[in-house]
Amino acid sequence: MNGKLLLITGAIASFMACKHQEQPLVKERSPRQEFPGLFEEVQTARIFPDSKTFADCAPKASPASVLQSYAKERTAVGFDLSTFVHNHFYVPAAATSAYVTDTAQDVIAHIESLWNVLKRLPDTANTWGSLIPLPDPYVVPGGRFREVYYWDSYFTMLGLKESGRIDLIEHMIKNFAYLIRTYGFIPNGNRTYYLTRSQPPYFALMVQLLVSAKEDHKQEILTTYLDVLEKEYHFWMKKPTEGQHTAEHLITLKDGTTLNRYWDRGTWPREESWREDILTAKKSPLHDAVYRELRTGAESGWDYSCRWFEDGKSLETIHITDIIPVDLNCLLYNLEQTLADAYNMKGNTLKALQYESAAATRRDAILRYCWDPKTGFFRDYDFKKEKRTSVLSLGGMYPFFFGIARAGQADSMTLVLQKEFLYPGGLVSTPFETGEQWDAPNGWAPLQWMAINGLLNYDKTTLASEIADRWSRQNIRVFKQTGKLLEKYNVKDTSLTGGGGEYPNQDGFGWTNGVLLKILHMQQQGLLNNGKNIDTL
């Protein structure tokens, strides 16, 4: 080999090595797997008030080295577990510790300034920590949520689009595509302890949002992400083994209809809520079997709500794996429609027809199994009891958002929404107060948006505008009092902020910022008329 060729070959090798180093790490092992024994000891001892903190810690040396030190030091006189953890792990910084709100700003300017505060650059993560590195920038929700979250991100993107931050939308979609191509699905968040589950499948809506921002590039966008959309679809549609009626997310009913449920592959306590899950299991009639139910509840995004409870009030009776959620199946209906659209763009008529047929079949099944004519609302379906569940929830509004509800159903649902869900600060997630964060008195930005946009789809502009007005006023009221935009809000008593659940109310907050900015811009544009003072209270 001559010198010149050797030099070129060496340069290529060096370039390829650099490119390889730039690629994110593919990580599979969670903290519980990396630190057996130590992980359980730290979580049980409650070294940190929030179980998620240790799950997010990154070791300063290899797990093997840390475990070796632990085995050697733990029997020494005066051993202190907290000191050991702080000596051997990088502890994440306190949430929002460096950011101070400029109270002179109006709320729109505040949100615009927050995008860069919540933005994270491409990861160069500690090799042994739980963070799954992502190749592009992304926006986190805020507070204890230091990583990207799947369904949160769609509602954050609504606001990014209003701010003209199409660059960030594209980066985040690329990250989610990377996760699907690497792991076969989008995990709950980019942490190894989330690799047993996903979250509500909003990726197709994200792609559609990007298309709406770059309409001239629709064909390019849809065909670019076609493989990713299809791979996510297959994750949710994995077929059962011969002779079985269930296969993780897929349920085959007695008449042969197939619909979907949530399902986590794990059967142990959530690593980010270790102690909390063990305490729940001690009270649960399901005993250790409750761990899968709790984990599956986290996949739903509604962690937790009485819509999943056997007795309608107690977390320890959670049985979400028995339930076919109406909102999940509406999201998959949209994914099927998006795949049909993408295949049409690609010129594959046969595949397009297959997905159009799948979407039509699912729409008919949602109408058949989830519409409740007695109450005039869509409900979840318990496939083991072969009947609809008793709990009304805003999950029932998803057929509005995706245009599945019929005109008469829309009229009925509007009345139920006003009577059961509407309060001075917006919509409650369910009408029931259980102490769980996804029940009354709390309202959440994503559900306000799904309801508002769904109502607009059926020309229910008056009620849509009233909900938007009440919700935005409550957001702004709390912002003026506290300088913060929060994860959730008390919509029944607007003098209070939201609460309940496993952790304090967080601020930041990605999806609240996104939905509020979208609503305020729509009000400014006259697309929402600031309500008509509907008297339903």
Q: Alpha helices, DSSP H only, in 257-348?
A: 274-283, 290-299, 326-346
Task: Tell the residue number behind the tokens 């379906």, with chain if given.
Answer: 381
Query: Strands across the sheet with 246-247, in order?
Result: 246-247, 250-252, 258-260
- Residue 120 structure tokens: 């994270």
Judged by DSSP in three states, 88 sits in helix
What is the amino acid identity at position 320? I
Task: Tell the residue number behind the tokens 């040396």, with chain if given.
Answer: 61
- Residue 437 structure tokens: 């964060």
> What is the total residue count of the chain?
537
CA distance linking residue 210 with residue 215, whole number of Å: 8
Q: Which of 303, 322, 336, 436 is catalytic?
A: 303
Q: Alpha helices, DSSP H only, in 79-164?
A: 81-88, 107-118, 150-162
Q: Which residues contact 297 (CB under 8 A, 6 or more apart)?
A: 262, 303, 304, 308, 318, 320
Catalytic annotation on 272?
no
Catalytic annotation on 303?
yes
CA distance linking residue 177 with residue 162, whole number of Å: 23
Judged by DSSP in three states, 362 sits in helix
User: How far, in whole angstroms, is CA 466 from its chain's centroid?
Assistant: 26
For 327-362, b where at least 16 C-beta lie within 10 A, e where not — what string?
bbbbbbbbbbbbbbbbbbbeeeeebbeebbebbeeb
Q: How far is CA 478 from CA 108, 128, 183, 439, 443, in A?
A: 14, 40, 40, 20, 13
Sign of the torsion angle spanned by Cα atoms 417, 437, 446, 208:
negative
What is the amino acid identity at position 280? T
What is the amino acid identity at position 21? Q
For 28-66, b where at least 16 C-beta lie within 10 A, e where not — what string?
eebbbebbeebbeebbeeebbebbbbbbbbbbeeebeeb
Q: How far is CA 107 from CA 101, 113, 520, in A?
A: 10, 10, 10
Q: Alpha helices, DSSP H only, in 184-273?
A: 203-213, 218-224, 226-236
Q: Which of 112, 293, 327, 487 is catalytic?
A: 487
Instruction: Indicate the burial class of 480 (C-beta count within 10 angstroms; 0-12, 13-18, 19 or more).
Output: exposed
- CB-CB contact of 515 with 449 (8 Å): yes
Instruction: Enumerate the active-site residues.
Output: 303, 487
